Copies of this chain bind each other. A is one copy, B any other.
Amino acid sequence: MVYIGTAEASPNMPFVKYWGKRNEALILPMNSNISATFDSSLATRTTVFFSESLKADELWINGKQFPPESLDKAIPQLNIIRELAGIQMFAKIYSISKVPVAAGLSSSSAGLCALALASASALGLKLPAEELSIICRRGSGSSCRSIYGGFVEWVRGDKTDGSDSYGVQIADDKHWPELRMLAVSIEETEKKVKSRAGMKQTVLTSTLYQKRLQDIGNTLDSVRNAIRNKNFQSLAELTMKESNNMHAVCMDTWPPILYLNDNSRTVIQSIHDFNEGGLRAAYTFDAGPNPYIITEEKNLKSVLELLKKMSFIKHIFISKIGGNPRVLEEHLLNEKGKPV
């Protein structure tokens, strides 16, 4: 008896950051946070194959098997799914990413969302979106926002068991068709301080972090309003300030975490120069030096011209606001667990 399922999900780009957990084991955030989901051109497609013939969980990305420690985020998800379905089989995860894994995109959010959907599909579990989002969250926090397309808020929740902490959609992918999100790759080496370790250290040591948390309710209100009103100027300013605020508390962490490099600084300075006379683009940086940039369709050409001058840029992925992730009938593996 084998079970097989396939799904496709996209990473997401944050306007308000997830930085700091209130519960490490359950992956519960200190603050609600908001992102938009990339379109399917940046998606990850994952087939999961449950079989009694497997001796352990396996992870294959783009045709290459990954070592067991790479399953750290997937196993908590798989265990929840296995328990819900009442099975004990191991799983083979076979994932194809449309963008290079090394490009610095937050591919784990896409991969773990696709895995949760594919697993539920494989085992015939009919789960509400909230529950699927929670399963995503248990793998990788920000992944719970990829359960929807459009603009998504990961609601912090108050309960200690995390049952009220999941992604909710603020607006769908049709809401703001003029918006463009660019994932810009300037460094393809692995980050030195992974976000999981970094945010934990910030919570433990940064005094400024407490002020960040005090103020973030206002930021969330303003970002929701900017999205609902499609107010680009407002969203752009809020997004840049929020990114800078997160990197400020990283620098205030002990020992300090400095994710931005000279090329990141060049991007920041160039965007501010570009915005003289009115905000036409905004940057945001996650736990690394690679920027995401938002702009509107009418300014996309100018933004690309600006970026083309920066010879250190390796890739630029251009995306619209994406739709919901999808369960697919075409699998990447056959019934014997071999690639098709």
Give the distance in Å from the alpha carbon of A260 to the alpha carbon of B261 in the complex. Answer: 9
Give the distance in Å from the alpha carbon of A207 to the alpha carbon of B261 in the complex. Answer: 24
Nearest opposing residue in chain B for A208, CB measure: B208
A181-232 residues at the B interface, CB under 8 angstroms: 207-208, 210-212, 215
Q: Is A258 an interface residue (CB 8 A)?
A: yes
Smallest CB separation, A23 vs chain B (Å): 24
A228-254 CB contact bits vs B (8 Å, 1 = yes)? 000000000000110011011101111
Q: Is A262 an interface residue (CB 8 A)?
A: yes
Q: With a CB–CB cut-off of 8 A, which chain B residues contact A256?
A: 240, 244, 268
Question: Main SS of chain A's interface residues?
Answer: helix
Number of A positions contacting B (CB below 8 A): 26
Smallest CB separation, A328 vs chain B (Å): 42
A9-53 CB contact bits vs B (8 Å, 1 = yes)? 000000000000000000000000000000000000000000000
Q: With a CB–CB cut-off of 8 A, which chain B residues contact A261?
A: 262, 265
Mark A residues whose CB is within 8 Å of B: 207-208, 210-212, 215, 240-241, 244-245, 247-249, 251-256, 258, 260-262, 265, 268, 272
Q: What are 7 residue pairs bridging A and B, where the CB atoms are less than 8 Å apart in the complex?
A: A208-B208, A208-B245, A240-B256, A248-B251, A248-B252, A251-B251, A262-B262
